[in-house]
Amino acid sequence: MQRVEATSTAADDWPSLLSATDPLHLLRTRLAFDVGFEELAFLHRTPEGWRRDDAGSRPIEEKDLPPAPAAQGFEAQERLGSTLRAAFRAGGHVWWWIVRRGDPFSDAESAAILGRLREWAPAMALRDLAQDLDAARGQLDLILRHSADAIILVDAGNRIRFFNGAATEIFGYAAEEVIGLHYDILLPPDARGKGEADRIRQAVEQSGTVNDLECLRWSKDGKPLALKVTGAAVRGPGGTLVSRFSFIRDLRPIKKLREELVRAQSLAMVGELAASVAHEIRNPLASMLAGLETLRSELHPSGASDEMFRKLLEQIRRLDDTVERLLVFAKPWEVSPRDYDLDAVIRGVAGMLGRESKSEIRLRGPAPCPVFGDPQLVEHVLVNLIRNAVEAGGAAEVEVSATEANVEIAVRDPGPGIAPEHQAKLFRPFFTTKANGTGLGLATCQKIVQAHKGSIRISSAPGRGTEATVRLPRAVR
């Protein structure tokens, strides 16, 4: 059966063999019937290195290889006694065949072997090129799908043909939802159908690329997206535009970092100004407070006059408290770390505020919870957060969770929640939703947490209460 298969296979049939069987196996079979051989070495050299598929095991050194063909196609090399050498070039790759046996080959045997090699060279080269192409496509697919930037391929008619994972994260569409749809689906509603995609296609077609185009796009849930788009053309034979890739980078994290930098710079300026103003105000306030208390004790006012003195003293004390908070906010917080039990600090703060407000404060978490940090600064943060929770909801829950690297403290209240328009302003100095608040408590907490190389966030929804979460490293160095 092997003999019939081997001898009945014509050279014109080699493309169909790629899906039916291994060309190298068929070549070995035919050579086995044509002439006897001990070793058939098949070597393929690529820019990445050597690939070897041998019928024998004898090592092949580079000096034993024939010179590579200068032109595309098959080139028979000389016969060296019991060794025949031949080479084939296609698409920048070169394949070598080395056939050996113990006895020298006759002229007829050499002609038969070289004829078989010439017959099978294209099929074997195509097999390897197909494998290389599959590997390259697999690598390219991996890069495209796992790129941090969104990559979208559109055809000449601006229909989406490829949509990677990063594009899904940015736009909110799964790939199967947009494949085949017009690119306009990613544009703001008022820009759809107005030719923006066509203008980008024309620009790419003319210059080959469009670089760093800042534009507005639209997510699946109807949110505007600030993006930076780079377009690149994919051309077919004759230079016609077949498709184009859009490489898209989300500018929102960059814009957020810029805003945070501006905010940090503003906070630093506010802190410096607050410190200087507070020092200038504090001494006159102390003099005014002392003078009013002296007058009140000497005049012994009664009725409306005494009530006026009382209100004046109350307002001056409140102003003095604001100045004190300004000084605390402006203070450059420095962490003085030491070993302490976070659970003990939380229980101390909860006990003090529970007695002060006569409110329930529930505690959950590991006890003890050893931490290396500044317990006094952490206590300052806890006092602010737990007091806010009690004032907002009449009760509070403090839950601690810890890993080897970090500890998280979540302070929750069952209060009315915070309006969405206020949530972005919570850490701004002097912003407050309290009637008698100064707006410096959360800003100071944030500075302390950042000095610990940690983070603080607040999540809230109207009618669902508020949760403040502080994340700190277990050890501050």
In which element (H, E) is residue 116 found? helix 107-145
Q: Is residue 441's pLDDT more than 70? A: yes
pLDDT above 50 (res 234): yes
The set of residues, in sequence order, having a beta carbon less than 8 Å from that of 435 and lying 6+ positions away, is none
User: For 362-413, what is each residue's pLDDT tens digit?
Assistant: 999 888 899 999 998 999 899 999 999 999 888 999 999 998 899 999 999 9
Which domains, from first to last, does the chain contain?
2-143 (3.30.450), 146-250 (3.30.450.20), 255-330 (1.10.287.130), 338-473 (3.30.565.10)
Residues 6+ apart with CB under 8 A from 257: none
pLDDT at 363: 93
The pLDDT assigned to 408 comes to 94
Determine the Cα–Cα distance for residues 160 and 153; give it in Å rounded to an integer: 6
- Mean pLDDT, the chain, as a whole number? 78
300: left (phi over 0), alpha (psi -120 to 50) or beta: left
Q: Tell me: pLDDT of 452 over 70.
A: yes
pLDDT at 186: 87
Asked if residue 17 has pLDDT above 60, the reply is: no
Strand partners for 55: none
Mean pLDDT, to the nearest integer, of 312-318?
81
Angle separating helix axes 252-299 and 304-330, nearest 10 degrees: 140
Output the pLDDT for position 469. Answer: 95
CA distance 48 to 446: 53
Please tell me the least confidently modeled range out of 127-131, 224-228, 272-276, 396-400. 272-276
pTM score, two decimals? 0.45
Count other C-beta atoms under 10 Å from residue 355's C-beta: 9
Among candidate residues 27, 34, 6, the one with its CA nearest the CA of residue 105: 34
Tens digit of pLDDT for each residue in 41-92?
777 665 555 666 655 555 566 666 666 777 777 766 666 677 887 888 776 6
Q: Which string of DSSP letters, residue by residue, matches 423-446?
A: HTTTTSTT--SSTT--S-HHHHHH
**Tell me: the pLDDT tens digits for 248-295?**
888 777 777 777 777 667 666 766 666 666 667 767 777 887 888 888
Parallel, antiparallel, or unpaired: how do β-strands 160-163 and 150-155 relate? antiparallel
- Mean pLDDT of the region 438-456: 86
pLDDT at 224: 85
SS (H, E, C) 146-196: CCCCEEEEEECCCEEEEECHHHHHHHCCCHHHHCCCEHHHHCCHHHCCCCH
Residue 211 has pLDDT above 60, yes or no: yes
Torsion region of 331: left, alpha or beta (phi above 0 gives left; psi -120 to 50 gives alpha): beta
Determine contact, residues 375/347, Cβ cutoff 8 Å.
no
**Portion of the chain with pLDDT greater than 70, in percent:** 80
User: What is the separation of C-alpha 301 from the centre of its chain, rounded to a whole number of angstroms?
Assistant: 69
List pLDDT tens digits, range 340-361.
Answer: 999 999 999 999 998 888 889 9
Residue 320 structure tokens: 């003095």
pLDDT at position 9 is: 38
Higher pLDDT, 414 or 239: 414
Report CA dihedral (373, 400, 383, 444) to the nearest 10 degrees.
Answer: 60
pLDDT digits (tens, 9 = 90+) for 178-201: 999 988 888 888 777 777 767 777
